[in-house]
């Protein structure tokens, strides 16, 4: 079977959780879940030539993720994030700065990857430095045949109106959460009355194919030019929410590339996101082990 090539472009880092260190970063979480869904998940990032960097490469290989497109930085440390989990399982982040993924290089290898990708997911955090922001934009421009998914993650002060607007101009699909939406609309100088009208405004202003607004445990809203779909979400016992949004995005991208209907996309994305929230960390291992693909399971078996 020809698997689609889907790249997670941006930060790879260690989430320093209360229970210990866990490999993460939205693009890495996304690529891992893409792999579990049966596609070829590729991480395009940068780690340091240090013990954490080697551990990250080793862990990605253990998880089945190739490391051929992970750059190694001889001057800057591998990224880390201090993560605090509140009693409801919600995560708060303190992100180290600067680190290796702030210095991602535009290389012939990445240009080849971009040209062969079926989809690429990127966010706002990895664009906090001018170097990586330029590399990400070069990658997106080279990925002319790929579906480009902008998964907005407003972290600390690492975003701006320019970064958000320019990213949406380069994207086909934009995903935001309901808490970020009012701030994003203000920064983009667009009116915010309700979620549906804001999604429509983003579609028109940035010539998008699809806007997704996630609502945590309350599900999500998907809006295209002519259709929309709402899903109420799934009730699960939340262990922590680390990586659940990235899992949602991976499932959304997987189903979108299959040509699934909006309601099917919404169902699968919510179910996969809920499964990750019910597990520990952003890269949980299925009950059947690392060789178990979610693509071989029914939705009810996933959750």
Q: Considering its fold, how many domains does the chain have in total? A: 1
Backbone phi, psi, residue 133, to 5°: -60, -45
What is residue 94's three-state secondary structure?
Answer: strand
Domain range for 141: 28-45+103-285
| 88 belongs to a structural domain | no
| 82 belongs to a structural domain | no
| 75 belongs to a structural domain | no
- Starting at the edge strand found earlier in the chain, the sheet holding 91-95 runs 20-24, 13-17, 79-85, 91-95
Assign residue 128 the CATH number of its domain: 3.40.1190.20
pLDDT digits (tens, 9 = 90+) for 226-242: 999 999 999 999 988 88
pLDDT digits (tens, 9 = 90+) for 24-83: 999 999 999 999 999 999 999 999 999 999 999 999 999 999 899 999 999 999 999 987
Cis ω on the peptide bond leading into residue 98 (within 30° of 0)? yes
Mean pLDDT of 268-274: 96
Mean pLDDT, the chain, integer = 92
Q: Encode 209-225 in three state secondary structure.
A: CEEEEECHHHCEEEECC
Mean pLDDT of 74-100: 87
The per-residue pLDDT for 273 is: 96
Taking 80 as the threshold, does the pLDDT of residue 279 lie above it?
Answer: yes
| 297 belongs to a structural domain | no
Contacts of 250 (CB under 8 A, 6+ apart): 6, 29, 30, 31, 33, 34, 37, 41, 121, 272
40's tokens: 């070829």
The per-residue pLDDT for 17 is: 78
| 231 belongs to a structural domain | yes
Taking 70 as the threshold, does the pLDDT of residue 216 lie above it?
Answer: yes
Distance CA 298, CA 247 (A): 16
| 113 belongs to a structural domain | yes
| 247 belongs to a structural domain | yes
Mean pLDDT of 142-150: 98
pLDDT digits (tens, 9 = 90+) for 119-128: 999 999 999 9
pLDDT band at 100 (very low <50, low <70, confident <90, very high): very high
Taking 90 as the threshold, does the pLDDT of residue 178 lie above it?
Answer: yes
SS3 content of the chain, % helix, strand, coil (to 5): 40, 20, 40
Q: Are 101 and 45 in contact (CB under 8 A)?
A: yes
Taking 90 as the threshold, does the pLDDT of residue 303 lie above it?
Answer: no
| 73 belongs to a structural domain | no
């Amino acid at each position: 079977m020809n698997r689609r090539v889907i790249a997670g472009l941006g930060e790879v880092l260690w989430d320093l959780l209360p229970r210990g260190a866990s490999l993460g970063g939205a693009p890495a979480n996304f690529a891992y879940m893409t792999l579990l869904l049966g596609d070829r998940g590729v991480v395009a990032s940068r780690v340091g030539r240090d013990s954490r960097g080697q551990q990250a490469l080793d862990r990605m290989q253990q998880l089945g993720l190739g490391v051929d497109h992970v750059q190694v930085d001889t001057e800057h440390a591998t990224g880390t994030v201090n993560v605090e989990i509140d009693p409801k399982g919600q995560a708060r982040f303190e992100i180290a700065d600067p680190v290796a993924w702030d210095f991602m290089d535009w290389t012939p290898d990445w240009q080849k990857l971009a040209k062969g990708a079926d989809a690429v997911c990127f966010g706002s955090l990895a664009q906090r430095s001018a170097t990586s922001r330029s590399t990400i934009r070069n990658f997106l421009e080279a990925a002319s045949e790929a579906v480009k998914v902008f998964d907005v993650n407003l972290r600390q002060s690492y975003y701006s109106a320019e970064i958000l607007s320019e990213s949406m101009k380069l994207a086909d699909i934009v995903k935001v959460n309901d808490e970020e939406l009012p701030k994003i609309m203000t920064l983009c100088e667009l009116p915010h009355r309700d979620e549906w009208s804001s999604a429509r405004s983003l579609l028109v202003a940035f010539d998008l194919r699809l806007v997704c607004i996630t609502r945590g445990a309350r599900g999500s809203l998907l809006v295209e030019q002519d259709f929309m779909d709402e899903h109420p979400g799934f009730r699960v016992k939340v262990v922590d929410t680390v990586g659940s949004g990235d899992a949602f995005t991976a499932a959304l991208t997987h189903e979108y590339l299959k040509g699934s209907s909006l309601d099917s996309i919404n169902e699968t994305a919510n179910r996969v996101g809920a499964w990750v929230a019910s597990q520990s960390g952003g890269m949980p291992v299925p009950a059947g082990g690392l060789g178990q693909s979610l693509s071989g399971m029914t939705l009810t078996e996933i959750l």
